[in-house]
Amino acid sequence: MRETIFKDFIGSLAEKMGEPIDARFAAITVFLSGLGIIRNVLQIRLLAEGEGGDLEAIIARAIMAMLATPESQAPQTPAHQATACECPQTAHQKAEQAKVQGRTRKERVQTRKGIAMTAIVDLNGKRGLVIGIANENSIAAGCAAAFHQAGAELAVTYLNDKALRFVSPVAEAVRAKIMLPCDVRVPGELEAVFETIARQWGQLDFVLHSIAFAPREDLQTSIVNCSAEGFALAMDISCHSFIRVAKLAMPLMTDGGSLLTVTFYGSERVVQHYNLMGPVKAALESTVRYIAADLADKRIRANAISAGPVKTRAASGIGRFDELLDEVRDRTPGHHLISVEDVGRVAAFLASEAGSSTNGSVVFADNGFHTVA
């Protein structure tokens, strides 16, 4: 019964569309293999524009016929779907299908309950800037790796010549096309990064800002004892630089984009020894919300990733950091700390179109630590 419906459906569509069926037929074949996925119905509807309203009615009738068939209620295995369609695609049809759907690049495919689904996080054709890689263990390095794995083309920065030898292996691993020095305290260096990107690429799709700093003597004392100069410097490097990044990125994000920064739970709750960085990160999170509101009409979104504690070079400046790691591990549901790779996967999602509805948010990547009182 099901095979008859499929064959009649294809025949009806062929008559409506005319010959050759080519790419549209290929798209319909994909639709049949996962009948019931609304997104695919909409894709066919878009492909059918200009062919008249009957196509939508044909699709509706076919779905109703399947729902009326008891056999259609049984779960399908991938093998069942293959025999049900009985119309294998040729290499030409597959290529044409990719063109029609605007996906000429390779896509990872996952199978769930016998239904083929394209990868949700896809950065193919996207270009991004990663600011703040210190070495292979830094959060920015984990994010760069995830961006690269999702298909993005990257530009990366390093702090200075001393840091270059630690950042170069990361840049090579992610095949960074652009690699430039960037110390936001040095006048003109941040601007030079964006000028180079404008000259070489002409556009930008996402930026990860992962830099923070406070003078050790101000970080390792109580908040009431930190100096005005130290507090101002921490705010300038850790928070205001994100505003500068947003302003410089805006003209390059002509098709919209994603601005990301990294924060920590100490912004909203007192964490021992985090000291002046707590207020600084709170300011950064508020800045994210205001940037998100300011740039929303340009389809540029801004979000902060609140990462659980990770043993990085930057974290080494926090007093008794090993004790903090032990405490967080004990209190976290499941008793697992996060890795830079965990943070990277969240960043890749937020940088992709899959994360386009998330804006002005603090997204936690801490294995649930923030949920425990």
Using one digit for the tens of pLDDT, what is the confidence trace for 127-147?
A: 999 999 999 999 999 999 999
Considering 126, 281, 290, 311, which one is annotated as catalytic?
281
Lowest mean pLDDT among 93-97, 167-171, 254-258: 93-97
Considering 162, 247, 274, 290, which one is annotated as catalytic?
274
- Encode pLDDT of 209-253 as tens digits: 999 999 999 999 999 999 999 999 999 999 999 999 999 999 999
Q: Confidence class of residue 367 from pLDDT cuts 50, 70 and 90?
A: confident
* Residue 120 pLDDT: 86
Residue ranges per domain, the chain?
Answer: 2-87+101-118, 127-371
Choice between 29 and 337, residue whose per-residue pLDDT is larger: 337
Which of 14-28, 88-102, 222-236 holds the top average pLDDT? Answer: 222-236
- Is the pLDDT confidence value at 114 over 60? no
**Burial (CB count <10 Å: 0-12, 13-18, 19+), residue 116:** middle
- Encode pLDDT of 59-69 as tens digits: 555 555 554 54
Rounded to the nearest 5°, which phi and psi values hold at 59?
-60, -45
Q: Which CATH topology does 127-371 take?
A: Rossmann fold (3.40.50)
* Residue 105 pLDDT: 42
Known catalytic residue: 177?
Answer: no
Residue 236 DSSP label: I
Torsion (CA) 67, 70, 72, 75 in degrees, nearest 10: 130
Residue 334 DSSP label: T
Alpha-carbon gap, residue 263 to 242, rounded angstroms = 12
Known catalytic residue: 16?
Answer: no
In sequence order, what DSSP letters do the residues of 16-56 get, joined into one string? HH-S--HHHHHHHHHHHHTTT-HHHHHHHHHHTTTS-THHH
* Residue 273 pLDDT: 85
Choice between 98 and 81, residue whose per-residue pLDDT is larger: 98
- Is the pLDDT confidence value at 7 over 60? no
- Is the pLDDT confidence value at 77 over 90? no
Which two tokens mark 96? 């044409």
Alpha-carbon gap, residue 145 to 221, rounded angstroms = 35
- Encode pLDDT of 267-317 as tens digits: 998 888 889 999 999 999 999 999 999 999 999 999 999 987 765 545 455
pTM score, two decimals?
A: 0.67
